[in-house]
Amino acid sequence: MNDGGIKRRDFLKVMGWGGASVALGGCGNASLESGAELVESYVQPEDFMVPGISVYYASTCTQCEAACAVHGRVREGRILKLEGNPDSSINKGKICGLGQAAVQSHYNPDRLTRPQIRQGGKLADATWEQAMTLLAQKVGPASGVQGGEFALLSGAVSGHLKVLLQNYVDSLGSKNHFVYDALSPAVTYSANKKIYGVESPRLRLDKAKMILSFGADFLGSWVSPVHFAGQYAQFRKAPRGVLVQVEPKMTLTGANADRWIPARPGTEGVLALGIANQLLQDAALAQKAPAGAAAAVKTYTKEMVSAATGVPADQMDKVVALLKERTPSLVLSGPSAEGHAHGSQTATAIALLNVILGNVGKTIEAPAALPFPQIAPSSGSYAGLREFNDGLSKGQYKAVFVYGANPVFTAPGFMGLGDNLGKAAFKVVFAESLDETAAQADLVLPLDSALEGWGTHVAHYQPGGTELNVQQPLMEKLHAETRGMGDVLLDLLKQRQPDQYKQWPDYYAYLKSAVLQNKAAFGQAASDDEAFWRGALSAGLLKVSAPEPAAVKVGSVEVSLPAAEADNAQYPLHLVPSVRHSFRDGRHANLPWMQESPDALTTMVWDSWAEIHPKTAARLGVKEGDYLEIASDKGAIKVKAYVFPGIHPGAVAVPVGQGHEELGRYAKGVGVNPFKILSPVFDKDTGELAMYATRVKVSKTGQHEKMVKDEGASNGKQAGTKIVVTLPTDKVNLAREV
């Protein structure tokens, strides 16, 4: 703008005059817009519709797997806001920021509004008729595609949609329904199953007097955060519970803890066994402990554990003293402890503490049973993705469907999934926005938003009795050409098994008849069908009547941990791919509210960053804003450094979820994607990807850029800055001040 153009200062001067005249205009009669807008009226309104007055409908939040029940505020037929539904035992009337942003997901300008078919290498707009014809041609009965030639990759699913997905895969004679979740809790579930006999025991944070959490970010992104936040509030009421958090990178939960312990990444299990060893020195605890436990942990002496974990012996002593003093307690294990090659063993070692402390049955309870296995949640796992990818790389699929997952973005780079996907002859992606996987598809089908569609959901974590959460449209469709996943599946099933499915004109009819058939299971066998259904929709949830669950039985707590990992000279640091509650696996990076909400710990917005300990930064000569190259054996990312004391000196943390190449204007080109540099390390027991086991080296690139964040100076230290000047009450001269 400097070559014969306008200088910034001139521009501002002129705009100043212009602006002043606008302001003057505004003072007169001239700020009204008569006749400029339409005022929409109704043809025949419902009796209860009053323009300007909101009505509330119950539905279910689908932003994460917790399945919180919500009430949507609707005015003039538009959904404006979501609130928590107080009748749900999951969220008890509360809702998180990510849940609030579901509204923005619905109104997102980058939503897909038409089917797209690949023509001449590019995706082009098409009609549903063309799309369904193409589907009939490529995967319909006449296509000849069947059995192992077809695969479906879905995100975690539950409820009646899961039944239809499964039925469709079955109708092709295929066994390939792979369920994938990039942030899979599969290791937790398998360890829980082994130790407590159930995958998701009820955790009673509210009953505990002390919580020792190994990387479980229950206030942020772990399992059912809204529910746990409520329990946490109870836990902190007088007499105040004590929270100790062990993790390599401070999470929101860690920031709330009374004591935050950064054990060397991967040694959380060793620390747990060290604590177990000290606890078992207490005769009363040793007496009740499982046979052989004392012998199994006796080599984990204070000195050995302290050397292996880097946790000073006196800190361990304090934790042990707290655990002895405060019963019942609760010990949790989360992804950063379990994301290593020995993750399942670590989870077992941590659970052993609960057994020794007698917490099982007190703060760890059995969940209520779900009498319908067909609609029970299938939680995703890495195993699902691996099988899908193996099939792709062998070129054995003629047709693949992807729904509720974005594997091209979330799969680790070493899998080469993006390239392998090209080997499938016909790829169909069902999505709301064009994500990285959809961009590679041959057919993209635009789905209704979660606020426009019907559905049922069963949460994996059920804190009360089992709930079936009902999702109903909160407004008419924004775009005429989007459809519900259930409706598309029904049409596809009708292509194959018309007789079985012709009785249901749409997914709503299917859902209603399926729920009505099971009235009895909800304890309402005698009620009238329509009254029952209206009741279900107005409540937004149905409580399953099931007998009180049996007590949790302690199973095997045998544990064997490997010797501490040797220092790695080539890749000296541990990569912590931390999970932000706002983005989860990255599917929500297209929500500007989430991009704009500062990260809870660093206050960063609209970007990725690498958290690095001040000592490590000093050693490498790194200052805040310096671009770092973080390289693993599988690739490198370039990202700005954020010098942060809340991280283990031997680790560097980069949040996942950013670094999109697609997913619309708000996500594209923002930040970096650490999924791409993960190393192929797997949990030995379950085969799950060990997300926290990647080793990296960090070097300066020489570039520097200012960080965009809310906090002030680096590290945000406010002590001594006199932001708010205070005086003790006894020093205040009230006669002068008031």
Distance of closest approach, residue 428 Cβ to other proteins, in angstroms: 35
Given the complex with other proteins, which of 32 and 713 has the nearer CB atom? 32
Of 17, 144, 237, 548, the one binding other proteins (CB under 8 A) is 17
Given the complex with other proteins, which of 5 and 144 has the nearer CB atom? 5
Q: Looking only at residues 659 through 688 of this chain, which bind other proteins when binding is defined by CB under 8 A? A: none
Given the complex with other proteins, which of 18 and 395 has the nearer CB atom? 18
Sheet of 116-119, strand order: 122-125, 116-119, 443-446, 426-431, 399-403, 150-154, 177-179
The whole-angstrom separation of Cα 87 and Cα 90 is 9
Distance of closest approach, residue 12 Cβ to other proteins, in angstroms: 10
Given the complex with other proteins, which of 51 and 292 has the nearer CB atom? 51
- 722-731: burial string, b at 16+ Cβ within 10 Å, e else: eeeeeeeeee
What is the chain's alpha carbon radius of gyration, rounded to the nearest angstrom? 28
DSSP 8-state code for residue 567? P
Q: Looking only at residues 83 through 142 of this chain, which bind other proteins when binding is defined by CB under 8 A? A: none
> Does residue number 480 form part of the binding site for other proteins (CB under 8 A)?
no
Residue whose pair of structure tokens reads 């409580």 in the numeric block: 543
DSSP 597-634: SPPTTT-B-SS--EEE-HHHHHHHT--TTEEEEEEETT
Given the complex with other proteins, which of 26 and 416 has the nearer CB atom? 26
> Does residue number 24 form part of the binding site for other proteins (CB under 8 A)?
yes
What are the CA-CA distances from residue 97 to residues 226, 516, 588 (Å)? Answer: 10, 34, 12
Distance of closest approach, residue 15 Cβ to other proteins, in angstroms: 6
Task: State the helix-helix crossing angle for 159-171 and 507-517, rounded to 10 degrees.
Answer: 110
Q: What residues have CB less than 8 Å from 364, skipping those under 6 apart? A: 196, 201, 202, 203, 204, 330, 354, 552
- With beta carbons less than 8 A apart as the criterion, state whether 189 and 548 touch: no
The region of 8-16, 89-97, 614-622, 690-698 touching other proteins under the rule CB under 8 A is 8-16
- With beta carbons less than 8 A apart as the criterion, state whether 692 and 614 touch: no
Given the complex with other proteins, which of 15 and 142 has the nearer CB atom? 15
Given the complex with other proteins, which of 15 and 708 has the nearer CB atom? 15
C-alpha closest to that of 600 among 588, 617, 582, 587: 582
The region of 26-34, 156-164, 454-462, 505-513 touching other proteins under the rule CB under 8 A is 26-34
Q: What residues have CB less than 8 Å from 375, skipping those under 6 apart? A: 158, 159, 160, 162, 163, 456, 458, 468
Distance of closest approach, residue 477 Cβ to other proteins, in angstroms: 17
Of 10, 258, 325, 705, the one binding other proteins (CB under 8 A) is 10
Given the complex with other proteins, which of 34 and 721 has the nearer CB atom? 34
Distance of closest approach, residue 5 Cβ to other proteins, in angstroms: 7
Residue whose pair of structure tokens reads 């050397």 in the numeric block: 307
Of 26, 97, 147, 498, the one binding other proteins (CB under 8 A) is 26
Distance of closest approach, residue 8 Cβ to other proteins, in angstroms: 13
The whole-angstrom separation of Cα 219 and Cα 333 is 14
Given the complex with other proteins, which of 10 and 390 has the nearer CB atom? 10
Phi, psi angle pair for 650, to nearest 5°: -95, 15
C-alpha closest to that of 303 among 337, 280, 332, 274: 274
Distance of closest approach, residue 40 Cβ to other proteins, in angstroms: 6
Given the complex with other proteins, which of 11 and 107 has the nearer CB atom? 11
Distance of closest approach, residue 49 Cβ to other proteins, in angstroms: 9
Here the tokens at position 631 are 């390289």
Distance of closest approach, residue 479 Cβ to other proteins, in angstroms: 19
The whole-angstrom separation of Cα 553 and Cα 117 is 54
Given the complex with other proteins, which of 48 and 121 has the nearer CB atom? 48
DSSP 516-556: HHTGGGGT-TTS-HHHHHHHHHHHSEEEPP-PPPPPP----
The region of 28-36, 248-256, 327-335, 489-497 touching other proteins under the rule CB under 8 A is 28-36
> Does residue number 2 form part of the binding site for other proteins (CB under 8 A)?
no
The region of 3-11, 132-140, 397-405, 685-693 touching other proteins under the rule CB under 8 A is 3-11
The region of 13-21, 127-135, 267-275, 526-534 touching other proteins under the rule CB under 8 A is 13-21
Distance of closest approach, residue 107 Cβ to other proteins, in angstroms: 17
The whole-angstrom separation of Cα 553 and Cα 335 is 24
Given the complex with other proteins, which of 25 and 416 has the nearer CB atom? 25
Phi, psi angle pair for 472, to nearest 5°: -130, 155
> Residue 738 CB: number of other CB atoms within 10 A?
6
The region of 15-23, 107-115, 371-379, 717-725 touching other proteins under the rule CB under 8 A is 15-23
Number of residues engaging other proteins in binding (CB under 8 A): 37
> Does residue number 14 form part of the binding site for other proteins (CB under 8 A)?
yes
Distance of closest approach, residue 100 Cβ to other proteins, in angstroms: 19
Given the complex with other proteins, which of 13 and 704 has the nearer CB atom? 13
- With beta carbons less than 8 A apart as the criterion, state whether 232 and 219 touch: yes
Given the complex with other proteins, which of 38 and 713 has the nearer CB atom? 38
Question: What one-letter code names the amino acid at 171?
Answer: S
Q: Looking only at residues 30 through 69 of this chain, which bind other proteins when binding is defined by CB under 8 A? A: 30-45, 50-53
- With beta carbons less than 8 A apart as the criterion, state whether 227 and 259 touch: no
Given the complex with other proteins, which of 81 and 700 has the nearer CB atom? 81
The region of 19-27, 262-270, 707-715, 720-728 touching other proteins under the rule CB under 8 A is 19-27
Q: What residues have CB less than 8 Å from 493, skipping those under 6 apart? A: 164, 167, 168, 171, 500, 501
Residues that bind other proteins (CB under 8 A): 4-6, 10-11, 14-15, 17-19, 21-22, 24-26, 28-45, 50-53
